Chains A and B, each alone.
Chain A
Amino acid sequence: MVLAEQPDNWERQVKKGWLELAILASLWSEELYGLSLLRGLEEDTDLVLAEGTIYPILSRLKADGLVDTKWVEGESGHPRKYYWLTPAGRRRAVVMARYASGFLGSIEKLIAPLLAKEGK
């Protein structure tokens, strides 16, 4: 993410809102440490504004009981903190995913004429 490309405030707020769901979704099928989660988000999405924001969100998800953690000694000599979803985290992820899916569907329908006009 090139930070010099400052997105406008609307884009920033949208990304902020989706980031928590994106983190929970990334942890759905595997345990990840912060940087591996970040790399996945960078590859699949454009949600991360500053890398340092991921860690406080993970910290809050842990405080809320949605993820759990453990320190694992890395191959390169420094330990990595792995995160995985708790049962409460999995339930929360499903609720958020259902809401997001319905929400996206209705927004897509709403903005379809705008995109069609742009395509002409």
Chain B
Amino acid sequence: MHSDTLQRRVDAYLAELRRCLCELPPDEVRDILQEIRGHILERAEASGELTEERLVEILKALGRPEEIAPLYQVDSVVAKARTSLSPRVVMRGIHRWSVVSAWGLLLFVLGVVGYATGFSLMLTAVSKIFLPREVGAWVSPGAFSIGTSSAPGARDVLGWWLVPVGLAVGVLVIAGTTRLLRWTLRFARIRRPTSTVSSASSY
């Protein structure tokens, strides 16, 4: 078989793997593809004259891209989230876990609530600077709310203190949510689906 045809087959395999790895950062995907390409080429070189049958065997032994890719994504995304301070990265890790575990799903909901609360508090604090009369910590008979209030007789109990207090509490809630989610992610690898890889006969 012509070497161009074999090359196209390898490229098709790697393109499919790239497509399946779309959740990972581009530099990490590049790294993975370079390593897998090296593996295929070296296996091919070791087999002397490379035939289509031999190439199919090599790709089959590697496993199907759609089965290998989740192993990287669960591992990599979750591992990154375990050490990150970024709510976006941590939530990506929790989201990944939520796909394969009920605990992950529960923690994903907890994360959404925690981060939404923290960011809302910070947004309210900043809004106070631009809308001092409309935004506040309002107390009215039988009710308390933070933000805007249209309740008659509502009294702003914090005044300008809402700015530092809102920012500080918002940051604490976000940091606490991050810390809690990162701690729970230590258990996420339990569900790593390493036993699902079988073969890649279609490449």
Do residues A74 and B38 form an inter-chain contact, with CB atoms below 8 A? Answer: yes
Which of B29-37, B99-107, B118-126 lies at the binding interface? B29-37
Do residues B39 and A51 form an inter-chain contact, with CB atoms below 8 A? Answer: yes
Contacts known (A56-B68, A56-B75, A81-B38); A3 close to B61, Cβ less than 8 A: yes
Among A16, A52, A63, contact of B75 (Cβ-Cβ < 8 Å): A63
Do residues B35 and A64 form an inter-chain contact, with CB atoms below 8 A? Answer: no
Do residues B72 and A6 form an inter-chain contact, with CB atoms below 8 A? Answer: no
Query: Which residues between 34 and 71 of chain B lie within 8 Å of chain A, taking CB atoms?
Result: 34-39, 41-43, 45, 60-63, 67-68, 71
In the complex, A59 Cα to B80 Cα: how many Å? 11
Query: Which residues between 22 and 63 of chain A lie within 8 Å of chain B, taking CB atoms?
Result: 33-35, 49-53, 55-57, 59-60, 63
Residue of A whose beta carbon sits closest to that of B41: A78
In the complex, A64 Cα to B199 Cα: how many Å? 28
Among B35, B42, B45, B61, contact of A50 (Cβ-Cβ < 8 Å): B61
> How many A residues, CB 8 Å from partner?
30
In the complex, A9 Cα to B192 Cα: how many Å? 15
Do residues B36 and A13 form an inter-chain contact, with CB atoms below 8 A? Answer: no
In the complex, A87 Cα to B48 Cα: how many Å? 39
Counting from the closest, the 4 A-B pairs by CB-CB distance are: A63-B79, A56-B71, A52-B63, A50-B63
Besides A1-B61, A34-B39, A81-B38, 16 other A-B contacts (C-beta < 8 A): A9-B195, A16-B194, A33-B38, A34-B35, A35-B43, A51-B39, A52-B67, A52-B68, A53-B63, A53-B197, A60-B189, A63-B75, A71-B34, A78-B38, A81-B34, A81-B35
A binding-site residues for B, Cβ under 8 Å: 1, 3, 6, 9, 12-13, 16, 19, 33-35, 49-53, 55-57, 59-60, 63-64, 71, 74, 76, 78-81
B binding-site residues for A, Cβ under 8 Å: 31-32, 34-39, 41-43, 45, 60-63, 67-68, 71-72, 75-76, 79-80, 189, 192, 194-195, 197-199
